[in-house]
Structure 1
Amino acid sequence: MLRRFAVLAFLMAVLLGAPAAHAQSAEASGTWLTQAGDARVKISKCGGGICGVIVWLREPMDTATGQPATDSKNPNPALARRPMIGLPLFSGMQPAGPNKWSGQIYNADDGSMYASSITVTGADSLRIEGCVGALCGGESWTRAGR
């Protein structure tokens, strides 16, 4: 009888744990407005983690050229010509705890990748943090158009 209870308890733990892991990705999925309100990023499940791409910019055109904004700060000349809309921001964002992912984030302002974490802090809020060595900073994003 005790063995049957242990097997049942194990099965219940597995079945109850599976939706929690799925819910973690579902909470971050959606379109998010950056803290400055100058971009919207669509986050979706990607492999075992999450991916994020720019889907909207307040200023989508390069004022100097009159053409769509590009990743002009990227040190790689081939990448510097890619459009900002559709630009992937996250690399290797994998689960790092409840409602948290860790990996790297791309900063189009300087063309560099940084160690980063993303944490769901509420139904409509995310905390994005990035670090260069011991120097860390972050911002809060809000869900767009719920």
Structure 2
Amino acid sequence: MKRFLLAAMLILPSAAFASPQALDGTWMRDDGNARVRIAPCGDKICATNLWIGDTSKGEAPGDKLVMDLSQQPDGSFSGTAYDAKRDSTYSMTVKVGKGELTTRGCILAKLLCRDVGWKAVD
């Protein structure tokens, strides 16, 4: 019986792990200035701007970030994100909580990073 329980614990996913589907949805940036849709796009994950409040920094509806992420042992996702508009690739980490995300994008060998909080939009 102990062997069965141990095997089941190793095989069944832990509740601490989020699935890639946890990223899927519509999200509002914590400053209220952007709404994005995150969804699968091929074998990657795309975040597409649906609405931008302040377009002075060059963001526009329809802009897309293509993310190649893999799940980490702590349940977060990490990898890269490609911004076609700027022809730039960033290191990306996404932490998933109940109804919220925190994204961390970095450039220059992870020397310059920015964290952004997101809330799920119903």
Same topology, TM > 0.5:
yes
Aligned residues: 117
- After superposition, the C-alpha distances for 1:12-67 in whole angstroms (9 at most, x for unaligned) are 2245327765x53233221111234333222235677x6133151136xx9xxxxx
Structure exhibiting the larger radius of gyration computed from Cα positions: 1
For 1:25, the equivalent position in structure 2 comes to 20
**Alignment identity in percent?**
24
The gaps in structure 1 that reach 5 residues or longer are 63-71, 74-82
For 2:76, the equivalent position in structure 1 comes to 100
CA pair 103-51 structure 1, distance change in 2 beyond 3 A: same
* TM value normalised by structure 2: 0.68
The gaps in structure 2 that reach 5 residues or longer are none
Aligned equivalent of 1:135, options 95, 107, 112: 112
Aligned equivalent of 1:35, options 30, 39, 52: 30
Structure 1 runs (4+) greater than 3 angstroms displaced: 18-21, 44-48, 106-111
Aligned equivalent of 2:64, options 59, 64, 88: 88
For 2:5, the equivalent position in structure 1 comes to 9
* TM value normalised by structure 1: 0.59
